[in-house]
Amino acid sequence: MSLGKYLNKNKIGALVLIIVIIIAFGFGGFGGGFLSNNQNNIVKINKNNVTTQDLIEYINQSGISQKAIQENLNDNIVEELLSGLISNILLKLEIEDFNLQISQNSLSKKIKLNKNFLDENKVFQRIKYEKFLLENNISAPLFEKRLKDRELQKKLFDFVGAGTTSPKFLVSKLFETENRKLNIDFINLENFYKQKQDITEEELINFIIENDDQLSVDHINFKYAIINPQTLIGINEFNQEFFDKIDQIENNILNGINFETIISEFNLDPKSILDYKFSEESNEIEKKIYEIKDNNFDIFEQGENFVIYKIESLIKKKPNINDPQTKEEILNLVYQRNKFDYNRKLLEQIRDKNFTDNEFLNLGKDKIQSLTLNSIKDNKKFEINSIEMLYSLPSKSFTLINDEKNNIYIAKIKDYDDVKLQLDTKDYDQYLKKENTRIRKSILQSYDLFLNKKYKVDINQVALNNVKNLFQ
Query: Which residues, 6 or more positions from 315, have their beta carbon under 8 angstroms from its beta carbon?
Result: 218, 219, 220
pLDDT of res. 284: 93
Give me the mean pLDDT over the 214-235 stretch.
Answer: 93
Same fold, 3-162+443-469 and 181-197+325-417: no
Q: Higher model confidence: residue 21 or residue 198?
A: 198
Q: From CA 369, how far away is CA 356, in angstroms rounded? A: 17
Of the pLDDT bands very low, low, confident and very high (cuts 50, 70, 90), residue 22 is very low
Q: What is the pTM of this model?
A: 0.48
For residue 288, pLDDT over 90 is answered with yes
Q: From CA 296, how far away is CA 215, in angstroms rounded? A: 23
Class of domain 181-197+325-417: alpha beta
For residue 412, pLDDT over 90 is answered with yes
For residue 28, pLDDT over 50 is answered with no
3-class secondary-structure state, position 236: coil
Domain topology for 3-162+443-469: Triger factor/SurA peptide-binding fold (1.10.4030)
pLDDT of res. 92: 87
Q: Supply the DSSP symbol for 118.
A: B
Model pLDDT for residues 127-186, shown as the tens digit of each residue: 988 888 888 888 888 888 888 888 888 888 777 765 566 777 787 777 777 888 889 999
User: First CA to last CA across the chain, in angstroms?
Assistant: 27
Class of domain 217-317: alpha beta
For residue 57, pLDDT over 80 is answered with yes
Helices 140-160, 77-97: inter-axial angle, 10-degree rounding: 70
Domain edges within the chain: 3-162+443-469, 181-197+325-417, 217-317
Of the pLDDT bands very low, low, confident and very high (cuts 50, 70, 90), residue 227 is very high
Count of Cβ atoms closer than 10 Å to residue 90 Cβ: 22
For residues 440 and 214, the answer to whether their CB atoms sit within 8 Å is no
Q: Higher model confidence: residue 13 or residue 216?
A: 216
205, 209, 215, 219 alpha-carbon torsion, rounded to 10°: 90
Give me the mean pLDDT over the 415-433 stretch.
Answer: 76
